[in-house]
Chain A
């Protein structure tokens, strides 16, 4: 019995596009710019976030080309510094941190909990305007001459030495930070107070749990970064003296404050992606998520532990040996909830009826890359090993496995999974699978050589290097061009699908979850009547019984 394919119930007729959707509920530019509908705000985010992704991508494409030769003759050293700084700032503050919460979270969180909207729709719109202001401000800073401090803005380099637009870029970051903070606040209140009748905490989809845990990090970590950056801005603008060593200020204090945000920020980036994967895998394995409660709690485990590991970025910065030992041990602990998730996804796949549509390919890619990124993270948590590979390409490769391999593939999985829900149309099945595979291969080719480079001692953030590293750098650049093709492919099949895609119908993947029980695209008020929940999520094992004649 187990080997037999599950027969789908006979499809009555080709689905048609619904008449009344959130997209045509109101018309005109202002119906978008002044909208309070969480679904429209998600679309408003989708466009600039995608734009920023390609800005950040273009910056690093040039630096990667520069590294084809050991002399790095393509761009001036100064330009090279600006390029990787733009890449880091744009990708982290304006793409990776906001992308899944603001695009997928905004669209799906209210629908998954059976609500009409977020708790504070006006604040949600305000978040978008803050994001746009921050992103615009940072873009102006880049156009007006750029900034060369690296995305970490370490003092005293950022506060005194750098001659470029540090203040402007930081202001952009701070404004975008407030946007994230308000989004997090909105999500927390929404999950607490707007759940549909019968939707108890342990009936929530894991995506909701993950976004909820992420929101806590937004609330508690973003203000610290904002304040640290504001202090640098004040120091630079008013000559006050806060981190300036000449005044007795301590540059290490900045590093502590910076990483107090920026390490949890890694979990801001990865937790929502884990939430997406926890939705996709049960659906395409047609099985209940294995160990639901463990997966839910582990999101919180990661969020909490994430606040107590920040100094592992500073092992060589001159912190006390005992502090380093404690931070190292705490860092190892993060592996526990992360591993719980990976084991549970794998166990969900076990004996599942797996099919390999694009969302599933992205999700499987996520597991592979996240696992590699996580395991190399353990190398870096080890004190002795970190001394050796600190500030080398080993670190670069490690965090790109997590942030690109993890977050970007997770976002892609989510975007492909919910695209029919968001737009009401299906994209090309064949091309999307190709896209997933190209992206995965390109990613591996780009970053695997960087582990070797780093282990052999190539420092990061240098525009030239010794000749023996060239072969690995050329490999990495070649991989990056494949990865670039992988990133452009989704544009080529997702955008045409808006006009030419087949209507998807309410539930093209036969998925469980409240968001699939309404039309695609959903009506303005999400549900025709307020839903009532009677079962836990991911009840895929029930459908087999139902479908048997």
Chain B
């Protein structure tokens, strides 16, 4: 046995191997993997800033009109399915926990729990999308789609003046645009989780290099937070009653 080899403990050897692995992932424009990690992280934060402005525009629109037409908006909001919306909130909050745990295990370099938590996050995302799909179907059955399936008469019977009915359409326009844009973001997140899962399974990540897991988790949290704002803005505006 080579006497120099004995100096290399298993721990040191592992660290050395991981550093080598990480240096393979280093892109030419960076000096070291730490710089690459920081750049990717800042890049994602900057991207999220644009997303805030993107969604912010819609939130501004919905608040302006809610302020202008409080009665119609409240009546319209009552018709949304707060139960599914509420369950979906829980689903997304739990997925935030699982994604945090995924990052945690990625930083420790533990492959199996990393794959498990990425898979769980993805499944929770899919669960959210399925419930959202179900909700959209119920909305369709209940004639809540402006420009396609919408019954003005229903709203007059529900106690609104005929001139307030167009404002209900305004509310549902925002409901559809905002929730479908959010669902699109969840779909992209689910896709990203699937890719990460495969990469993690193949041993692509190490404690020195887990940048994609880290930045995708940031994105996932953002998508959750958007929903946290969507729920009260759209669903909790009116006074809901059990059984509605």
Contacts and interface: CB of A to CB of B under 8 A. Distances in A.
Contacts of B166: 241, 246-248
A118 interface: yes
Contacts of A235: 173
B86 interface: no
A250 B28 CA distance: 51
Contacts of A240: 146-147, 169, 173, 176-177
A193 B46 contact: no
Interface string B8-40: 000000000000000000011110000100110
A242 B172 CA distance: 10
Contacts of A228: 57
A242 B39 contact: no
A132 interface: no
A193 B42 CA distance: 9
B49 to A, nearest CB: 6
Interface residues of B, number: 37
B29 A119 contact: yes
A220 B42 contact: no
A61 interface: no
Interface stretch (B62-70, B108-116, B120-128, B228-236): B62-70
B61 interface: yes
Contacts of A319: none
Contact of A189 (B46, B54, B147, B169): B46
B212 to A, nearest CB: 13
Contacts of A241: 146-147, 166, 169-170, 173
A247 B29 contact: no
A223 B53 contact: yes
A276 interface: no
B196 to A, nearest CB: 18
Contacts of B130: none
B143 interface: no
Given A194-B29, A220-B53, A253 B64 contact: yes
Interface residues of A, number: 41
Interface string B171-184: 00110110000000
B42 A188 contact: yes
Contacts of B35: 193-194
B50 A238 contact: no
B133 interface: no
Contact of B177 (A189, A192, A231): A231
B28 to A, nearest CB: 6
Interface of B is mostly: helix
A321 B166 CA distance: 29
A117 interface: yes
B43 interface: yes
B58 interface: yes
Nearest to A234: B177
Contacts of A249: 65, 170
A193 B176 CA distance: 40
A227 B57 contact: yes
Contacts of A185: 43, 46-47, 50
Given A189-B43, A220-B53, A240-B176, A248 B29 contact: no
B44 to A, nearest CB: 9
A181 B146 contact: no
Contacts of A186: 43
Interface string A101-127: 000000000100001111111000000
A221 B53 CA distance: 8
Contact of A219 (B50, B68, B147): B50
B46 A227 contact: no
Nearest to B38: A193
B78 interface: no
Contacts of B57: 223-224, 227-228, 257
B61 A253 contact: yes
B137 to A, nearest CB: 18
Contact of B42 (A121, A192, A223): A192
A119 B147 contact: no
A219 B64 contact: no
B88 interface: no
User: Which of A119, A120, A228 has the most chain B CB atoms inside 10 A of its CB?
Assistant: A119
Interface in A142-192: 181, 185-186, 188-189, 192
A236 B39 CA distance: 40
A496 to B, nearest CB: 35
Nearest to A178: B50
User: Which of B51, B53, B166, B167 has the most chain A CB atoms inside 10 A of its CB?
Assistant: B53
B29 A238 contact: no
A116 B39 CA distance: 14
A255 to B, nearest CB: 13
Contacts of B174: 242
A219 B29 contact: no
A483 to B, nearest CB: 36
B232 to A, nearest CB: 21
Contacts of B60: 257
A147 to B, nearest CB: 22
A117 B29 contact: yes
A117 B29 CA distance: 6
A188 B170 contact: no
Contacts of A525: 28
Interface string A467-479: 0000000000000
A249 B42 CA distance: 38
Contacts of A193: 30, 35, 38-39, 42
Contact of A250 (B43, B64, B173, B177): B64
Given A121-B29, A185-B46, A189-B43, A247 B169 contact: yes
B39 A189 contact: yes
Contacts of A120: 39, 43
Nearest to A247: B166
A284 to B, nearest CB: 32
B170 A181 contact: no
Interface of A: 110, 115-121, 181, 185-186, 188-189, 192-194, 219-224, 226-228, 231, 234-235, 238-242, 246-250, 253, 257, 525
19 contacts: A115-B29, A116-B28, A121-B27, A189-B39, A193-B39, A194-B29, A194-B39, A220-B49, A220-B50, A223-B54, A223-B56, A240-B169, A240-B173, A241-B147, A241-B173, A242-B174, A248-B68, A249-B65, A253-B61
Interface of B: 27-30, 35, 38-39, 42-43, 46-47, 49-51, 53-54, 56-58, 60-61, 64-65, 68-69, 72, 146-148, 166-167, 169-170, 173-174, 176-177
The 5 closest A-B pairs by CB, nearest first: A239-B147, A227-B57, A247-B166, A223-B54, A223-B53
